[in-house]
Amino acid sequence: MRLGVWAPAAREVVLRLDGEDLPLTPDADGWWRHPFDVAAGLDYGFVVDGDGPLADPRSLWQPHGVHGLSRTLDLAALSTGAAAAETSVGGAPGGWRGLPLEGSVIYELHLGTFTPEGTLDAAAQHVDHLRSIGVDFIELLPVNAFNGEHGWGYDGVLWFAVHEPYGGPAAYRRFVDAAHAAGLGVIQDVVYNHLGPSGNVLPRFGPYLHEQDGPWGSALNLDGADAAEVRRYILDNTRLWLRDYGVDGLRLDAVHALHDTGPTHILAEIAETTDALAAELGRPLHLIAESDLNDPVMIEPRPDGYGLTAQWSDDFHHALHVALTGEVTGYYADFAGLAVLQKVLTRGFFHDGTYSSFRERNHGHPLDFDRTPSWRLVVSDQNHDQIGNRAIGDRLADTLDDGQLAIAAALTLLGPFTPMLFMGEEWAASTPWQYFTSHPEPELAAAVANGRISEFARMGWDRDVVPDPQHPETLERSVLDWSELQHGRHARMLAYYRELAVLRRSEPALRSSDLPQVDVADGGASVLTMRRGDVIVAVNFADTRAPIEVPPSTVLLASPETDGAAAEVGAAAPPTLGAHSLVIVRVTPEQ
């Protein structure tokens, strides 16, 4: 391998390699390159005009943390996917051929809290559990190197390196291999809209950053002077995950915060790069945008759109959350009433040009499902944002009963969109998922804590209950307790999720992107029915029994432990539903 760094304005760059200083010579393109091959396993850094040694902006390995030296790594010498090559799941025998996103289920997890060990190797031990609940793709929260031992990962500063406490690059390759061997794809969450505040060496090399910061920190220079090399930095990072590590897709964090006024948006360039890689590798690759814009441009085909595979729909979460909890503070204010949930289930977005009271302006654009099928929206009843950005990181299981949790799961997993689960929801985990950090700098830790308190003020939450992100117990509380799976409500909910997985696999209509027929009972008080093909999901959100109207049908699945209104599997559909309950039925064919 050969080492080099882009430093277009530098007068002198020295490569410090294994304790020896080697002056470099610049090329016309602003790159300073070492002309000889370098062995793997050597520590190195760059000294720029006397500043340093600094970590390599493209470092693949940071065993000493983001403030330490980089280490050379031969990616090709890591595991080459031998385990995956032996499986025929997901493609032709003899190699991993990927999975389509259409009809699939995504499972979002954070490596540091998914297991007590908090490592990639420990997470890989649970792939069979994920298969048992119908998961197709594992979506990992960011793994790029960030300062400190633990955190959410969205403050990464060295995007090419895998965070060392998770196991580093070799463990990451092993994880991808293990997932593929089990027939599961991997989606990696990446953050291209900003860099973290500690350990960011990029501006010490060149004009990587925009003159104005984004909402969460230093934004990338995508359209200013020398932006072409900055854009290449992002596109090469895309190639790293998809080609070199073999992942199946990227989740692009907060793309609405990308500032790009150039002739071709960086998202379209990422999509073009990904499509070319998919053709080269002979397997599908996916890009999923987290976007607050409710704008179909993300998923519409190029050249009119950016051509991404899918995007998140927060409107689904908000409408379902309000229907279940009655919470209408902050951005939930516009989502009261089952008519809102009805609109979201049939049109994708609630705000599609309508007035948003939280934003104090009209928001969003309508979707044309003739151009963009409904599976291109990724939906969830819980995710890392909607749990972790609550004041105490409380899950739905903290306040809802089993019947309500079953409703959330059924509408998410059996609707027309691509469902995503958040780790632990399948067993109603009792552990919260709170915001935790380990910033070594006291002033930075204080600034982050105070910033979160200010954000919560708009939601009407009590600042006095916000956990200290830096306290070790905040992390400890957020680690999943896997012993819960065998007991009480946790075992009941896990069994229910597994039954939903079986039903989803056995009923093609429940995996299709055909839009459902959704009806709300007169007055919109509590009952909603969603019909997909010959399958109907009938839901009672109220805390009292309610009548339902469905044609002659037989029960496929009922919510756990209702008050007696749900029929046995195979029995006729009940005339009423108990409080907080649902029933899934197949319509009897007409004679």
Looking at the annotation, which residues are catalytic?
253, 290
Asked if omega into 197 is within 30° of 0 (cis), the reply is no
CB 347 within 8 A of CB 284: no
**Is 316 assigned to a binding site?**
yes
- Using alpha carbons, list the distances in angstroms from residue 251 to 162, 289, 351, 560: 16, 6, 22, 33
Dihedral angle at the C-alpha atoms of 405, 184, 498, 546, nearest 10 degrees?
Answer: 40
Please tell me the distance from the alpha carbon of residue 585 to that of residue 8, in angstroms, as a whole number. 65
Please tell me the distance from the alpha carbon of residue 305 to that of residue 69, in angstroms, as a whole number. 41
Burial of 586 (0-12, 13-18, 19+ CB in 10 A): middle
Main-chain dihedrals φ then ψ at residue 15, nearest 5 degrees: -90, 115
**Is 251 assigned to a binding site?**
yes
CB 293 within 8 A of CB 254: no
Residue for token pair 């984004």: 214
Give bridge partners of residue 209 from the DSSP assignment: 220
Q: Within the chain, what is the greatest distance between any pair of CA atoms?
A: 86
Helix H or strand E encompassing 237: helix 227-239
**Is 147 assigned to a binding site?**
no
DSSP designation for 464:
G
Q: What is the token pair recorded at 181?
A: 């061997």
**Is 471 assigned to a binding site?**
no
Helix H or strand E encompassing 239: helix 227-239
**Is 328 assigned to a binding site?**
no
Tell whether the torsion through CA atoms of 294, 300, 303 and 304 is positive or negative.
negative
Helix, strand, coil proportions of the chain in percent (round to 5)?
A: 30, 20, 50
**Is 255 assigned to a binding site?**
yes
Helix H or strand E encompassing 445: helix 442-457
Burial of 485 (0-12, 13-18, 19+ CB in 10 A): middle
**Is 254 assigned to a binding site?**
yes
**Is 387 assigned to a binding site?**
yes
CB 320 within 8 A of CB 338: no
State the alpha helices, DSSP H only, in 240-393: 266-281, 314-325, 338-347, 384-388
Give bridge partners of residue 366 from the DSSP assignment: none
**Is 315 assigned to a binding site?**
yes
Please tell me the distance from the alpha carbon of residue 239 to that of residue 249, in angstroms, as a whole number. 11
**Which residues make up each annotated binding site?**
251-256, 314-318, 384-389
Residues marked as binding for substrate?
251-256, 314-318, 384-389
